[in-house]
Amino acid sequence: MNPETDVIINIQTTCTRDEAVAKLLGWSRGRYFPRSVQVTKHGIDVVDLGMVSQFEGSVQEQLAVIYEKARSEFIDAAENGDSHETLKTLEDKVNECRALVDKAADYFLDLDDELSAPEILRIDRMKSERDGQIHITLRSLAQWSRQKYKIDITQVAATDEDPSDSTSEPEAYSGDGEGLTDTDKIYLAFAALIDVAAENIRYQKKEGEANISQIAKAMEKHMKSQLPNSRGIGHETFRKRLDEAQASVVKHRRLLVNKS
């Protein structure tokens, strides 16, 4: 985080069930948080939940807000007669929200199973009795999440960090595939293809960086020749996936650095 940023420091040692699942989802991780977070008419945007110093309330209610926002954007676009490509992109966002809900539900199920007969998780009895709800020690939650999901709840996700971090000198990716999901590997393959395409000056910016927009348009042209009249293969969709691929590389570079 930029040193000029006005921050809130959070060094809590326990969390509730909802806070635990929020951290597993990538929200409210770390110890330093910006003092102000942008709030829209839909509340805090999902991409900003990682910058909230302490998650309060219900994960279920927050997911309902996130889902409703995505659903409303899709409906509004359909009523406005937006392009098929735009509608497909917004439909993908709705499906991503559903996947997020399913992931959170699985976290709650696993968490409650562990709490019913704790082997790793530890409960702060005094705080739990005082507040009338379960408080889990963060140290035990961090151990459990690493063992259960290979998730480090103490580390801020790359997409949640200060955007200025992306201007730093890129680190070499070691190729260590430990703990990577199939989706991770696909994104890393995409990122490698971006670099290969950028060796062609046609797909470079003036600064020598990869021109993601040009690559995405070339992909659209190629795919439409291979799959004419198919939906969801426009350059906007490809560009979004390529941006996600590059973000994935940044995340795994940092994970490797933190492990070393």
Q: What is the number of structural domains in the chain?
A: 2
pLDDT in tens, 140-158: 999 999 999 999 998 876 5
Indicate if 7 and 95 belong to the same structural domain: yes
Residue 164 lies in a domain: no
What is the rounded average pLDDT of the residues 169-177? 41
Indicate if 94 and 137 belong to the same structural domain: yes
Residue 73 lies in a domain: yes
Residue 84 lies in a domain: yes
Query: Which range has the worst mean pLDDT, 46-60, 175-189, 240-254?
Result: 175-189
What is the rounded average pLDDT of the residues 73-77? 92
- Domain residues for the domain of 41 are 1-157
**Residue 207, pLDDT score:** 67
Is the dihedral angle over the CA atoms 69, 74, 75, 79 positive or is it negative? positive
pLDDT in tens, 81-129: 988 889 999 999 999 999 999 999 999 999 999 999 999 999 999 999 9
**pTM, two decimal places:** 0.58
- Buried-state track 49-64, b at ≥16 Cβ within 10 A, e below 16: bbbbbebeeebeebbe
pLDDT in tens, 193-247: 888 888 887 888 766 788 888 888 888 888 878 777 665 667 677 777 787 787 7
**Residues 34, 55: Cα–Cα separation, whole Å:** 14
Please identify, among 107, 133, 157, the residue that sits at the C-terminal boundary of a domain. 157
Residue 10 lies in a domain: yes
Mean pLDDT of the chain: 80
Indicate if 195 and 256 belong to the same structural domain: yes
Residues 6+ apart with CB under 8 A from 213: 235, 239
**Residue 174, pLDDT score:** 42
Indicate if 62 and 107 belong to the same structural domain: yes
**Residues 241, 235: Cα–Cα separation, whole Å:** 10
